[in-house]
Amino acid sequence: MLLIHCPYCDETLPELEFAYAGEAHIARPADPSKLSDEEWRDFLFIRTNPKGVHFERWRHINGCGRFFNAVRETVGDKFLSTYEAGEPRPDVATLTGEAK
């Protein structure tokens, strides 16, 4: 079982307490009626789906109840970091140890 660190509880807890909630940092358009059908489709359905580092939302649903963001490496399924909702994306090079 994966262990996930909840930034609100500040505890590393079993995966079973958490629910995945899709890609992170996707802002809902302020005025959807101004969007073309293609732009609205992209907002609703088109995701980056990377093989590698992925920014994604999780919810500590069987715990504190809060949504937060995580950086997960999708090949090895390793969580590089988690952070509170609303915070900017952390620097990936720092997380993966590739920064000089």
Partner 1 sequence: MNAMTPTIAAGATVTELAPTTRIVLRLADPGGVGIALGVPLSERIGSRATNGARSALCLGPDEWLIEAPETEAATLGAMIADLAARTAISAVEVSDREITWRIEGPAVLELLAAGCPRNLAGMPVGEGARTIFDSVQIVLTREAEDRFHLTVWRSFAPHVRAILDLALRELASGL
CA 76 to chain centre: 16
Of 11 and 73, CB closest to partner 1? 11
Number of chain positions touching partner 1 (CB under 8 A): 15
Q: Which residues pair with 84 in a beta bridge?
A: 68
> Of 6-25, which residues contact partner 1 (CB under 8 A)?
8-11, 13-17
Binder of residue 65, out of Zn ion, partner 1, none (CB less than 5 to 8 A by kind):
partner 1
Rounded distance, CA 87 to CA 64, Å? 18
What residues line the site for Zn ion (CB under 5 A)?
A: 6, 8-9, 60, 63-64
> Of 26-85, which residues contact partner 1 (CB under 8 A)?
62-66
> Could you tell me if 98 and 73 are in contact, meaning their C-beta atoms sit under 8 angstroms apart?
no
Name every residue whose Cβ is closer than 8 Å to that of residue 2 and which is 6 or more positions away in sequence: 14, 15, 77, 79
Interface residues toward partner 1, by CB under 8 A: 1, 8-11, 13-17, 62-66
